[in-house]
Amino acid sequence: MGEFERIARLRRAFAAEAPDVALGIGDDAAVLRAGADVVLSVDVVVEGTHFRRRFADEATLARRAAMAALSDLAAMGAEATALLCAWVLPAELEEAAFDGLVAGTAAAAREVGAVVVGGNLARGPGIALTTTAVGRAERVIRRDGARPGDGLFVTGEPGAAALGLAALLAGREDEALLAPFVEAWRRPRAHLAEGRALAREANACIDLSDGLLPDLGHVCAASGVGALIEPDALPCPAGFGAAAAALGEEPERLQLVGGEVYGLLFTAPEGAKLPAGATRIGTIEATPGIRLCRGDAVEPAPEAGFDHFGG
Amino acid sequence: MGEFERIARLRRAFAAEAPDVALGIGDDAAVLRAGADVVLSVDVVVEGTHFRRRFADEATLARRAAMAALSDLAAMGAEATALLCAWVLPAELEEAAFDGLVAGTAAAAREVGAVVVGGNLARGPGIALTTTAVGRAERVIRRDGARPGDGLFVTGEPGAAALGLAALLAGREDEALLAPFVEAWRRPRAHLAEGRALAREANACIDLSDGLLPDLGHVCAASGVGALIEPDALPCPAGFGAAAAALGEEPERLQLVGGEVYGLLFTAPEGAKLPAGATRIGTIEATPGIRLCRGDAVEPAPEAGFDHFGG
């Protein structure tokens, strides 16, 4: 299957109409009608770095790649309008695998009400899926608006996807105890509805992709504040502790620095209307730095982060 | 150098203000103020597929990657406003090489008056540079508007970059005869000014990335027309024939199917105002198919194309 035939297949799979899309796939560029501000983010997932082929079928991997990019729009409080997909694929990629990537991307677009408006195909040593997510917003939530006294909240379950990834890396994804967390890694959801609900409520928001502490660190640095986290308040799904123990992982470490969650971390003043599923985990403080509070004891949070590049 | 440090370096290098940019690098997504329609395209260049490290220094390679994406905006008649860069880089990439990529991208943005508003870094087996180019346009030029009787024009010199690539592949880039064409490959320019000038003049436009015949094929298929090309009218830079002969290449084949040109191919009615550097190379006809006209003889154009994926 040559590039032109693949592109023809993509055009058929991604054909869709949407009010914002003046021109979709098929020309040199896509054209969006813009009434509101345009929100843009790009994310790349690379075989061997972020996933291995055996971790999931191609449709699941492609849906996940799109959700990772869409999660950034969620963190801005934006509505998703369009996706552009630049795929590097090995020459020997099977036709069924290609079709799986297409199906998974189309599924992600459908779930969030977006249209795939463009893309690019190239041959390379392994699969690398780059997604540009395009959204619109009347008002965005930035990272730099957190204020002392704000409550600190998460949507989603920090650590669950990192536990699933650990199970996949150990080849133990089929164990009943671990399977729900593997599913959390495989099928993240961009919290777009939560983000939109927060657009007029939150003072600051970021998506949990690097991990709770590193992402909170970004918010605190941008806002010039510090934070106090109550680890006991972190949402803990059923079976989390037992599954972590089975893998020899420390549950709290996974919750604090485990990445690839794709929930939201936000700060909001007293009285803000919270989206369903939000959990308060702490408080923004004027003193820089992140501290953990257990009962009466307060200690500095560990420095460790999840650095895609370094490790 | 970890990911966060690299991102900090990117933020400093790409810091810029622009009227359209409400929020640049540093949050989950970028925000553009949109008065006109938003034009979007994505392009990826992959080490080993589109280039080898020895073909040029990193700044040149990165500038070239950005220009390839910007060329699609030129073909729409759009003005460039922003770039997003998703880079896959090998773990062992030297700091100077990273800085070169940054400098080349910044140079491309500066040349076209755009701002780098976002990006993503990931580790992978080789360099792959994905650029999302964002522009704006009051009126775009599509591929599907060519009409019988339109003149057929190019800006730029089809075949020159392909000849340079052949010289690079042969390791003969330093020969005086070949050096100007190596430079054509290394330093393409997105024809944005030409594209903007054509927005109210041309009936159809595409950028010459796949090669003259394949790209003309896209225009003809989208517009439901055919075309007659006069090969003798194709712009032929000084020394082109001799340089092609030195490499055992057929000059006309390079002009007709050589890719990576990054000029524009457009059709316009009689009396249209043409941008500087445009050359008439033929005529749009009602009969489907592409024909070559030499004096009184007319023959069907060869089928061959340049397929990134297949070859």
Is the ipTM value over 0.85, yes or no?
A: yes
Q: How far apart, in whole angstroms, are the C-alpha atoms of residue B86 and residue B93?
A: 16
Q: Is B271 left (phi over 0), alpha (psi -120 to 50) or beta?
A: left
Chain B residues within an 8 Å CB radius of A85: 42
Q: How far apart, in whole angstroms, are the C-alpha atoms of residue A267 and residue A151?
A: 5
Asked if B226 contacts B288 with a C-beta cutoff of 8 angstroms, the reply is yes
Residue to mutate among B4, B23, B38, B115, with most A CBs inside 10 A, is: B38
Give the one of B50, B120, B135 whose C-beta lies nearest to A42's C-beta.
B120
Report which residue type is found at B290.
I
* Cβ partners under 8 Å of residue B231, min gap 6: B252, B255, B256, B292, B293, B294
> What is the torsion angle, in degrees rounded to the nearest 10, for the CA atoms of residue B280, residue B281, residue B284 and residue B285?
130
Hey, are the CB atoms on A29 and B23 less than 8 Å from each other? no
* Chain B contacts in chain A segment 292-311 (CB below 8 A): 305, 307-310
Placement of tokens 């009400």 in the chain: A113
Report which residue type is found at B300.
P
> What is the torsion angle, in degrees rounded to the nearest 10, for the CA atoms of residue B284, residue B285, residue B286 and residue B287?
-120
Closest chain B residue to the Cα of A93, Cα to Cα: B309
Task: State the burial class of residue B231 (Cβ atoms within 10 Å of its Cβ: 0-12, 13-18, 19+).
Answer: middle
Report which residue type is found at B26.
G
Hey, are the CB atoms on B49 and A222 less than 8 Å from each other? no
Hey, are the CB atoms on A46 and B134 less than 8 Å from each other? no
In chain A, what are the domains? Answer: 3-137 (3.30.1330.10), 151-300 (3.90.650.10)
CA distance readout (Å), B232 to A130, A169, B104: 42, 61, 36
Asked if B87 contacts B122 with a C-beta cutoff of 8 angstroms, the reply is yes
Hey, are the CB atoms on A137 and B31 less than 8 Å from each other? yes
Chain B residues within an 8 Å CB radius of A84: 40-42, 132
Chain B residues within an 8 Å CB radius of A128: 88, 122, 124, 128
* pLDDT, tens digit only, all 311 positions of chain A: 676 677 777 777 777 777 777 777 777 778 887 778 899 999 999 999 999 999 999 999 999 999 999 999 999 999 999 999 999 999 999 999 999 999 999 999 999 999 888 888 999 999 999 999 999 988 899 999 999 999 999 999 999 999 999 999 999 999 999 999 999 999 999 999 999 999 999 999 999 988 999 999 999 999 999 999 999 999 999 999 999 999 999 999 999 999 887 899 999 999 999 999 999 999 999 999 999 999 899 999 987 544 433 22
Run of H or E including B291: strand B289-294
CA atoms within 13 A on the CB side of B205: 34
Whether residue A130 lies within 8 A of chain B, CB to CB, comes out as yes
Whether residue A38 lies within 8 A of chain B, CB to CB, comes out as yes
Coil, strand, or helix at residue B50? coil
Report which residue type is found at A144.
D
Tell me how close the Cα of B221 comes to any Cα of chain A, in angstroms: 11
Whether residue A50 lies within 8 A of chain B, CB to CB, comes out as yes
CA atoms within 13 A on the CB side of A227: 33
